[in-house]
Amino acid sequence: MSLYRNSAWFLKGVTEFTKNAFLSSSKRFVEKDLEVSVAGRSFMITGANSGIGRATAMAIAKKGGTVHMVCRNRDKAEEARAEIVRESGNKEIYVHILDLSETKKVWEFAEAFKRKYKSLNVLINNAGCIMGQREENTEGLEKSFASNVLGVYILTKSLIALLEKSVEPRVVTVSSGGMLVQKLRIGNLQSDRGRYDGAMVYAQHKRQQVVMTEQLAKTVANAMPEFHSSMRESLRTPEQGADTSVWLAVSEAAATMPSGHFYQDRKMVSAHLPLAWTRSSPLEEQEFMSSLEDLAKTQQAH
Ligand SMILES: NC(=O)c1ccc[n+]([C@@H]2O[C@H](COP(=O)([O-])OP(=O)(O)OC[C@H]3O[C@@H](n4cnc5c(N)ncnc54)[C@H](OP(=O)(O)O)[C@@H]3O)[C@@H](O)[C@H]2O)c1
């Protein structure tokens, strides 16, 4: 199975996530990579009702894939589903309601999905959130961590058994270039010490996704309001933002690329800046994975 991470923002000069950067990168894209039919294959996309997730769902629907949209808000999800069905002509689009910040519910959802569906080819962990202030979920876990990290871990771990039943399964986790300013921190997983800075907490969780993906790949053999308003004109469109997710999810070319790495604009790139201080030790990474496993198990229904 291949696990990939995708995307970019802040740092590396705001340029990376602009339309111009995309247009420049896209000059080296191989058009036929995406000229594939994925009819008969199924794709689960979290946060598929808006932005990049919605554009990803639309692109895959147009290629004939079955899409499982995992969203937390029924109205928004149904509205997006209706538009995707209308525009793609594909009726194999299903809505599932799940709030990824509710840890026990993530387990329950994944286990129920495995019982109901006999196959899943690709999981795209796209949903992401930035919290304005520290909040806890029902289980007492900090919500950004629960949604962006533990929820992704549980969904992926639980669905691996189903994914592995299909040929060439893939897991794509949409991280962010924001993680480049963060080194893995395992001493404050619940962000309950020091001042809570939602954007930095988010960036740390995007780093945790990157480490998690590298580690999971080894075990399986992959809304910032002020910022958006000032950059609105030059930011990538959702379709441009979704391009690498779609490429990783459907193309033959991606299937030949190494698993567990960070991809940007259809290219494997370093998960660290040059001379970066953000590298973690194997011991820290193991401790992080053990903490996730322990937390996940604590919330698993028996
Ligand atoms: N846009 C960028 O510049 C950029 C750059 C780099 C990386 N990314 C990453 O790309 C991914 C998509 O972002 P986007 O820009 O498309 O943002 P978006 O339009 O805000 O979409 C985020 C999606 O995630 C869903 N979501 C958030 N928390 C959730 C939860 N607890 N349970 C279930 N669903 C949840 C949202 O649902 P609701 O609609 O109900 O809120 C929404 O569907 C994120 O992982 C983000 O970190 C974005």
pLDDT in tens, 161-220: 999 999 889 999 999 999 999 999 999 999 999 999 999 999 999 999 999 999 999 887
Mean pLDDT score, 82-110: 98
Residue nearest to atom 48 of ligand 1 (CA): 176
- Ligand 1 neighbour 244 (Cβ under 6 A): no
Which listed residue (4, 153, 202, 263) is catalytic?
A: 202
Among 186-200, 217-231, 254-268, 284-298, the range scoring the smallest mean pLDDT is: 217-231
Higher pLDDT, 7 or 211: 211
The verdict on whether 263 is a catalytic residue reads no
- Ligand 1 neighbour 137 (Cβ under 6 A): no
What tokens appear for 213 in the block? 């993906």
Is the pLDDT at 16 greater than 70, yes or no? Answer: no
Please report which helix (H) or strand (E) contains residue 230, including its range: helix 225-231
153: nearest Cα among 98, 72, 211, 77: 211
**CA–centroid distance, residue 128 to ligand 1 (Å):** 4
pLDDT in tens, 224-249: 455 556 667 788 899 999 999 999 99
**CA–centroid distance, residue 50 to ligand 1 (Å):** 7
State the pTM of this model: 0.92
What's the whole-number average pLDDT of the chain? 91
Please, are residues 208 and 188 in contact by the beta-carbon 8 Å criterion? Answer: no
Residue nearest to atom 47 of ligand 1 (CA): 128
Q: For the chain, list the domains and their CATH numbers.
A: 2-298 (3.40.50.720)
- Ligand 1 neighbour 135 (Cβ under 6 A): no
248: nearest Cα among 239, 238, 258: 258
Q: From CA 80, how far away is CA 54, in angstroms rounded?
A: 7
35: nearest Cα among 238, 251, 246: 251
